[in-house]
């Protein structure tokens, strides 16, 4: 399924996740708030729930008006505001729990998934099958790896070219090395 289209129109996303959009807009928070308001999300708050499709509409607008780099930065802010499992100690653990965190921040229907497969001590493949933009997922993954990386190794994220939601495919695969 293509990005920006909710799998189910009844799905809701947590205010914690929605606030990452505003945090990711940094110096352009007012633009982010205006875009959210345009799609019916006003004054997002922790502990509240919002239409996923409206949030996805805001992502699409940001992609068109501000650019995909901003979607990447918004994704990087997700671990700062969204609900994540506590007591995570490693990159492999957080990547394996990303789907759990994703489901904790959504409710009421099919939302897709994140599936991590370890390849070696410092690498793995993340399969993203969700309606979010690729750049957003890349920001989330990069931020999580950097946060839990205990080595001095550089984080490398490569989008495998065979499938991509930007092209209407159902999934994106990412090779991750740290």
CATH value at residue 72:
3.90.1520.10
Determine the Cα–Cα distance for residues 67 and 58; give it in Å rounded to an integer.
Answer: 12
Q: What percent of the chain has pLDDT above 70? A: 99
Average of per-residue pLDDT across 100-125? 97
pLDDT at res. 24: 87
Confidence of residue 100 (pLDDT cuts 50, 70, 90): very high
Phi, psi of 143 (to 5 degrees): -65, -45
What percent of the chain shows pLDDT beyond 90?
Answer: 87
Give the model's pLDDT for residue 95: 98
Q: What is the per-residue pLDDT for 23?
A: 87
The tokens for 20 are: 């990452």
Question: How many independent structural domains does the chain possess?
Answer: 1
Res 1: pLDDT: 61
| Mean pLDDT across the chain | 94
The boundaries of the domain holding residue 40 are: 1-178
pLDDT over 70 (residue 138):
yes
- The reported pLDDT for the residue numbered 152 is 81
Give the per-residue pLDDT at 28. Answer: 87
Does residue 25 surpass a pLDDT of 90?
no
Is 90 exceeded by the pLDDT of residue 150?
no
């Amino acid at each position: 399924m293509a990005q920006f289209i909710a799998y189910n129109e009844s799905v809701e996303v947590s205010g914690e996740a929605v606030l990452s959009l505003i945090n990711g807009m940094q110096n352009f928070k007012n633009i982010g708030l205006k875009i959210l308001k345009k799609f019916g999300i006003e004054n997002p708050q922790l502990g509240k729930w919002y239409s996923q499709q409206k949030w996805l509409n805001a992502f699409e607008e940001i992609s068109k008006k501000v650019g995909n780099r901003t979607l990447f930065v918004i994704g990087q802010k997700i671990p700062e505001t969204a609900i994540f499992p506590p007591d995570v100690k490693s990159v492999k653990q957080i990547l394996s729990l990303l789907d759990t965190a994703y489901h904790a921040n959504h409710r009421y229907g099919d939302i897709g998934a994140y599936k991590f497969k370890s390849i070696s001590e410092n690498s793995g493949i993340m399969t993203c099958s969700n309606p979010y933009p690729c750049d957003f997922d890349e920001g989330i993954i990069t931020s999580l790896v950097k946060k839990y990386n205990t080595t001095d190794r550089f984080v490398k994220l490569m989008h495998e070219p065979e499938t991509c939601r930007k092209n209407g495919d159902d999934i994106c695969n990412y090779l991750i090395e740290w």
